Amino acid sequence: MEGKKGIFSFLIFVVITFGFPWMLTNDYYLSILILSGITAIGVVGLNLLLGYAGQISIGHAAFFGISAYTSAILTTNYGLSVGTGIFSGIALSSVVAVIIGIPALKLKALSLAMATLGFGLIVYIFLNETITLTGGPSGFVGIPRFNILGYDFYSDLAYYYLVAIILTFVIIISLNIINSRAGRALKAIHSSENAAMVMGINVARFKLFVFVLSAVFAATAGGLYAHYLSFVAPSSFDFHFSIKLIVMAVLGGMSSVWGGVIGALFLTSMPEFLRIYEELETILYGLILILCMMFMPQGIVGGIGKLSGFVMGMFSRGGGRNE
Amino acid sequence: MDLGSFLQYLISGLTIGSTYGLTALGFTIIFNATRVINFAQGEFVMMGGMLSVFFLSAMGAGLFPAIVLAVTCTTLAGVVMERLVIRPVQGANVINIILITIGVSIFIRGLVMLFLGKDTFALPPFMGTESLNFFGATIIPQSLWILTITMFVLVGLRIFFNKTIFGKAMLACSFEQKAAHLVGISVDRMVMLSFAISALVGSIGGVILAPITMTSYDVGILLGLKGFAACILGGLGNPFGAAAGGLIIGVLEALGAGYISSAFKDAFAFIILLAILFVKPSGIFGKAEIERV
Amino acid sequence: MNNGTSLLKCSDVYVRFGGVMALSDVSMDVQEGTIAALIGPNGAGKTTLLNVITGMVAQTEGSIFFRLDDLSEAQPHIRSQKGMVRTFQNLEVFSHMTVLENVMTGAHNLYKYSVLDSIFKTPRYFSQEKKCREAAMEKLRFVGLEDDWNKNAVDLPYGKQRLLELARAICGDPVLLLLDEPAAGLNPKETSSLGRVIAAVRDELKITIVLVEHDMELVMSISDDITVLNFGQVIARGTPGEIQKNPEVIKAYLGSDD
């Protein structure tokens, strides 16, 4: 049953994602969709960590940043191909994730939150202050657009499909992991680390695995971001961005892969459509976080689930009366 | 290294460390009463400075009344926060509560940005502008104010916790809530009081520092996190360890900025934080358990 | 039933928490194929001993032998992989999962495949998952929860959650099962049916059991061997008949139980 529902959601996603942009005539909307898709790749990863394994990270922007800058520097200053650049960025982010993750994941929630927050700020300060390498606060310009095997993704539509395909893979990978032995281990760790240990689950290893996996997704997004905008600045990977990623995960729904996608799309596109919103953006993020955690901890997807459960319940009750 | 510049770093470190210490104290007071880390603690510090500037310039109040108003408002904000978002979710899991306090923190920051703008403001020094010379180091009068006020706050809190009935009741709650409840202490009221005190202490930290470092809507993030670093350094749950941790972080940061690199000044506190968390999470002064198993 | 082979051997275990001696010089020998009960008044150190055996609390002194392995320093998940599984006094079902998934998690190390197998949905993934699912359903039938397999674990009533924990624990085909007050909070009817299930775990699945329990009727009816702890020390051991007559035991219970 889970399988059927899963395949149905997946089909809807594929149809909307790949069928929709033909009709978009406005490049501006397309670029918003591209940025939403890139962000969604990171949020889906964060959701595996936060929603499934129950481990918090308030420094996930750092993995975006490390990868974006690594790829930007390697391709622009050293003439490496974009593919190599992005892979190097992902590799470096994963190494950093392992180094930070091994000691950090031994900590309980409160300290883990602070440790990841501190880590994020250190990376941010580093990006700002190593001016000869990163260009400092004013940013790094002239990054080549994504190209692979001689094909340049110059048009936004081409880039959109690139992002959509990668996002689809990220979703498939996440769903397949969740519906497996590893996914059960992660959910077990979330509920009770003690009971998970007793079931023979190597808690430290699985926590590290999901932390690194989420860093890899974030790094992938970081690379795609740098080679889409051709420009990166430290402020794109600051504390606020880490928080934004969390708000997206929470609003979409923490215990659902789709939640990450919906949250990212919603909160990336909303500010673009509501102009007055700009001033209020921070306040709104704060409110969303508070209200979701107080009244809607399962987010939008959970709300939809509850609603459909309610409707189904009405039908089945109706059926019961007829019998 | 010459004595003059070393002393200079030491003094500026102690000065800024006082604010870190007061922030850390705020974290500890709430943690002891509720086992929650209030991520909005830094915003209380920011409000102290920003609201003083607001009352002083926009309302035309004198410096002293402006400060009193700012500290009062922040304290009230602490109480409101506890009533509106903390009390209703008692017993929720730690991650949810962390996320709620993060939400409060960015909400407060957003509000201040909306109403007071994104500019950086300076609060005038409390009294005196003539610098003193001390073995080749320059001491500005505001430094002395900061150190004196911090001492007063620490002594005041010590007396409050050891001598007054409210203070003792709060200590009782921090040891064992159920038992405190059984002997007739209203745990709810104590939790609210802890938010009030920690907002009060935090805002004082923000007010005294504002004349030296300037203030803006977003100073709370760094101050809050450095305060937390101080807390961990001193051993979470140990109020006076936290205050000492603040002074140590301040001094290390000033020395690091002076002798190693001023560009990475802000990074030092976080590197210390990570080092402590990874190597000795119980802090240097305490054996306090960070989380009960 | 009792073939005389020692499966678990705790020797001279001491546990100190700060100034408190939680366990002092505790030794215990569990014979293969038996139900060994561990009883004693509240605070006697029964759960602490269970924690030491499963590696969740480190002993100050002493050692734990399981079959022929010295597991004194092994981490909990290693002990579990060697065949030692426990349940908890405070229910610890995995609340984010269905009943079936809970039990499948119990077989974490029985039906293995790599993360890559799951990402690419290889034939190995499907065959192992199928085996795991079947094994889990069989265990659910064993404890009588087969009709609830698709419910969320948290939606089960308390008594059924206890059974779920038991099913989850036996799904990894353990050699030794440690039960921490499995009957706590159950009514007499539920308790007696739980007793039958526990006895069946020993007799049909051939799993050796260490049982910590307060319900004396349950303990006396299914145990082969009883060890009595009081203030962290072993004060008696023997068959149910011997223990019921032991004056030390009677004194310990009457003297300190409320």
pLDDT range class, residue A276, cuts 50, 70, 90:
low
The answer to whether position C251 is within a domain reads yes
Q: A182: nearest CA in chain C?
A: C115
Q: C50: nearest CA in chain A?
A: A198
Do residue C56 and residue A203 have CB atoms under 8 angstroms apart? no
| Cα angle A243, A258, A72; round to 5 | 55
pLDDT at C4 over 70: no
Domain that holds residue B8: 3-164+196-279
pLDDT range class, residue C17, cuts 50, 70, 90:
confident
Chain A nearest CA to B111, separation (Å): 6
Nearest alpha carbon to residue C53 among C40, C41, C69, C33: C69
Assign C65 to helix, strand or coil. strand
The answer to whether position B284 is within a domain reads no
- Give the range among A77-81, B3-7, C34-38 with minimum mean pLDDT: B3-7
Report the pLDDT averaged over residues A210-221.
97
Say how far apart CA B169 and CA C60 lie, in whole Å: 36
Buried b (16+ CB within 10 A) or exposed e, A114-136: bbbbbbbbbbbbbbbbeeeebbb
The answer to whether position C105 is within a domain reads no
The answer to whether position B102 is within a domain reads yes
The answer to whether position C235 is within a domain reads yes
Do residue B290 and residue A58 have CB atoms under 8 angstroms apart? no
pLDDT range class, residue A278, cuts 50, 70, 90:
low
Phi, psi of C147 (to 5 degrees): -75, -15
Interface test with A, best of B37, B90, B94, B102 (most A CBs within 10 A): B102
Percent of chain B whose pLDDT exceeds 70: 97
Chain B neighbors (3+ CB pairs < 8 Å): A
Q: A54: nearest CA in chain C?
A: C96
- In this predicted structure, what is the pLDDT of residue A318? 47
Interface test with A, best of C96, C109, C126, C151 (most A CBs within 10 A): C96
pLDDT range class, residue C2, cuts 50, 70, 90:
very low
Interface test with A, best of C77, C166, C173, C179 (most A CBs within 10 A): C77
The answer to whether position B245 is within a domain reads yes
**HSE-up of residue B1 (Cα within 13 Å, Cβ side):** 12
Q: What is the pLDDT of residues C80-128, one digit of tens each?
A: 999 999 999 888 999 889 999 999 999 999 999 999 999 999 999 999 9
Number of domains in chain C: 1
Tally of CB atoms within 10 A around A302: 18
The answer to whether position C123 is within a domain reads no
Chain C nearest CA to A178, separation (Å): 9
Chain A nearest CA to C99, separation (Å): 12
Chain A neighbors (3+ CB pairs < 8 Å): B, C
Arithmetic mean of pLDDT over chain A: 87
pLDDT at A86 over 90: yes
Contact yes or no for A44/A38 (Cβ under 8 A) = no
| Distances, alpha carbon A242 to alpha carbons A43, B65, C112, in Å | 10, 38, 35
Report the pLDDT averaged over residues B262-267.
84
Do residue A294 and residue B232 have CB atoms under 8 angstroms apart? no
- What residues of B are in contact with residue A284 (Cβ under 8 Å)? 110
The answer to whether position B255 is within a domain reads yes
Closest partner residue to A293 (CB to CB) among B99, B263, B271 is B99
Report the pLDDT averaged over residues A54-66.
94
pLDDT at B98 over 70: yes
Provide the number of CB pairs (under 8 Å) joining chain A to chain C: 97
Do residue A188 and residue C94 have CB atoms under 8 angstroms apart? yes
Interface of A with B in 107-126 (CB under 8 A): 107-111, 113-115, 117-119, 121-122, 125-126
Instruction: Tell me the Ramachandran region of residue A7: left when phi exceeds 0, alpha when psi lies from -120 to 50, beta otherwise.
Output: alpha
The answer to whether position B185 is within a domain reads no
pLDDT range class, residue B96, cuts 50, 70, 90:
confident
Phi, psi of A105 (to 5 degrees): -75, -5
Structure tokens at B215: 């203030």
Contact yes or no for B245/B283 (Cβ under 8 A) = yes
Number of domains in chain B: 1
The answer to whether position B63 is within a domain reads yes
Per CB distance under 8 Å, which residues of A are interface residues toward C? 1, 52, 172-173, 176-177, 179-185, 187-188, 190-192, 194-203, 209, 255
pLDDT at B178 over 80: no
pTM comes to 0.90
pLDDT at A321 over 70: no
Interface of A with B in 175-234 (CB under 8 A): none
Judged by a CB distance cut-off of 8 A, whether residue A245 touches chain B is no
Do residue A177 and residue C119 have CB atoms under 8 angstroms apart? yes
Say how far apart CA B176 and CA B166 lie, in whole Å: 15
Q: What is the pLDDT of residues B271-287, one digit of tens each?
A: 888 888 888 777 776 55
Residues in chain A: 323
pLDDT at B131 over 90: no
- In this predicted structure, what is the pLDDT of residue A100? 93
Report the pLDDT averaged over residues A178-197.
94
Arithmetic mean of pLDDT over chain B: 86
Q: Cα-Cα-Cα-Cα dihedral of B185, B186, B187, B191, to 10°?
A: -120
Percent of chain C whose pLDDT exceeds 90: 77
Do residue A279 and residue B88 have CB atoms under 8 angstroms apart? no
- Scan for tokens 């927050």, then name that residue: A117
Alpha carbon of residue C100 to chain centroid: 20
- In this predicted structure, what is the pLDDT of residue B166? 82
Q: In terms of DSSP bridges, do strands A147-148 and C69-70 run parallel, antiparallel, or are they unpaired?
A: unpaired
Nearest alpha carbon to residue A174 among C119, C121, C116: C119
Question: What CATH number should be reported for the domain holding residue B232?
Answer: 1.10.3470
Phi, psi of A302 (to 5 degrees): -60, -40
The answer to whether position B178 is within a domain reads no
- In this predicted structure, what is the pLDDT of residue C255? 63
- In this predicted structure, what is the pLDDT of residue B286? 58
Say how far apart CA B231 and CA B28 lie, in whole Å: 7
Three-class DSSP labels, chain A: CHHHHHHHHHHHHHHHHHHCHHHCCCHHHHHHHHHHHHHHHHHHHHHHHHHHCCCCCCCCHHHHHHHHHHHHHHHHHHCCCHHHHHHHHHHHHHHHHHHHHHHHCCCCHHHHHHHHHHHHHHHHHHHHHCHHHHCHHHCEECCCCCEECCEECCCHHHHHHHHHHHHHHHHHHHHHHHCCHHHHHHHHHHHCHHHHHHCCCCHHHHHHHHHHHHHHHHHHHHHHHHHHHCEECHHHHCHHHHHHHHHHHHHHCCCCHHHHHHHHHHHHHHHHHCCCHHHHHHHHHHHHHHHHHHHCCCHHHHHHHHHHHHHHHHHHHHHHHHC
Do residue A113 and residue B98 have CB atoms under 8 angstroms apart? yes
- In this predicted structure, what is the pLDDT of residue A1? 35
Tally of CB atoms within 10 A around B289: 12
Chain A nearest CA to C187, separation (Å): 25
- What residues of A are in contact with residue C168 (Cβ under 8 Å)? 199
The answer to whether position B236 is within a domain reads yes
pLDDT at B293 over 70: no
Report the pLDDT averaged over residues B217-233.
89
The answer to whether position C167 is within a domain reads no
- In this predicted structure, what is the pLDDT of residue B247? 93
- Give the range among A26-35, A62-71, A185-194 with minimum mean pLDDT: A26-35
pLDDT at A320 over 60: no
Contact yes or no for A226/A141 (Cβ under 8 A) = no
Q: What is the pLDDT of residues B146-158, one digit of tens each?
A: 999 999 999 999 8
- In this predicted structure, what is the pLDDT of residue B188? 84
pLDDT at B180 over 50: yes
Report the pLDDT averaged over residues C36-43.
90
Q: What is the pLDDT of residues B202-219, one digit of tens each?
A: 999 999 999 888 899 989
**HSE-up of residue A220 (Cα within 13 Å, Cβ side):** 23
The answer to whether position C127 is within a domain reads no
Q: What DSSP character marks residue B170?
A: H
- What residues of C are in contact with residue A173 (Cβ under 8 Å)? 119
pLDDT at A91 over 90: yes
Nearest alpha carbon to residue C37 among C52, C49, C25: C49
pLDDT range class, residue A314, cuts 50, 70, 90:
low
CB-based contacts of A44, cutoff 8 Å, min separation 6: A167, A170, A171, A174, A217, A257, A260, A261
Domain that holds residue C12: 6-83+174-256
B232-235: list long-range contacts, CB under 8 Å, 24+ apart.
B232/A111, B232/A114, B232/B273, B232/B276, B232/B277, B232/B281, B232/B283, B233/B272, B233/B273, B233/B276, B233/B283, B233/B284, B234/B24, B234/B283, B234/B284, B234/B285, B234/B286, B235/B282, B235/B283, B235/B284, B235/B285, B235/B286, B235/B287, B235/B288
Question: What CATH number should be reported for the domain holding residue C210?
Answer: 3.40.50.300
- In this predicted structure, what is the pLDDT of residue B135? 77
Structure tokens at C198: 């526990």
Report the pLDDT averaged over residues A44-61.
94
- In this predicted structure, what is the pLDDT of residue A254? 86
The answer to whether position C164 is within a domain reads no
